[in-house]
């Protein structure tokens, strides 16, 4: 028959350590969520500014109705579209860097949790072995 003694302190320390790492992970995830929210707010601002610029170009004062006015309007709209495209391309690169950073943080957390679990299991086995020997 196996004589297993239950050490409450070892058990509590193991779970305190486990839950502290989950608390840190939750804090990091909220920081990442805030970064993504701010990023999306900035993208929405860029799109809004482009829309306002398009409206100003379209509804701006017109001197004459004719081929040159239409050509100027089309040129302004093309320039504004190019400007928005460049901004969105830069935002996409920023998003990619943010996502890579968050992925690295999550991977680091998973590694830390696995290492802690392994250490805790080894510590528990060591305590049991010492108690059996005594």
Tens-digit pLDDT profile for residues 45-100: 999 999 999 998 888 766 556 677 788 888 999 999 999 999 999 999 999 999 99
Whose tokens are 């049991």? That residue is 128
Burial (CB count <10 Å: 0-12, 13-18, 19+), residue 64: exposed
Residues 90 and 85: their CA atoms lie apart, in Å, by 9
Question: Exposed e or buried b for every residue in 44-54, given b needs 16+ CB within 10 A?
Answer: eeeeeebeebe
Q: Tell me what the mean pLDDT of segment 17-44 comes to.
A: 87
Does 1 have pLDDT greater than 50?
Answer: no
| Mean of the per-residue pLDDT values of the chain | 82
Q: Is the dihedral of CA 16, 22, 28, 33 positive or negative?
A: negative
CA distance 41 to 23: 27
Indicate whether this model's pTM tops 0.85: no
Nearest partner of 116 among 29, 3, 7, 18, judged by Cα: 18
So what's the pLDDT on residue 38? 95
Q: Is the pLDDT confidence value at 11 over 80? A: no
pLDDT grade for 134, boundaries at 50, 70 and 90: low
Pair 6, 14: CB distance under 8 Å: no
Higher pLDDT, 30 or 67: 30
Name the residue ranges covered by the structural domains of the chain: 9-122
Spatial CB neighbours of 28, under 8 Å, sequence gap ≥ 6: 105, 109
């Amino acid at each position: 028959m196996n004589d297993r003694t239950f050490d409450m302190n070892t058990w509590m320390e193991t779970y305190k350590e486990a839950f502290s790492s989950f608390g840190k992970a939750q804090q990091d995830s909220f920081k990442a969520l805030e970064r993504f929210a701010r990023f999306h707010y900035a993208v929405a601002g860029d799109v809004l500014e482009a829309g306002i610029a398009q409206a100003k170009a379209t509804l701006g004062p017109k001197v004459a109705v004719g081929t040159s006015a239409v050509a100027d309007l089309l040129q302004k709209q093309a320039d504004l579209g190019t400007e928005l495209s460049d901004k969105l391309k830069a935002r996409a690169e920023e998003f990619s860097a943010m996502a890579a950073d968050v992925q690295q943080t999550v991977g680091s957390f998973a590694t830390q949790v696995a290492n802690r679990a392994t250490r805790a299991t080894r510590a528990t086995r060591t305590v049991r072995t010492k108690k059996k020997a005594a």
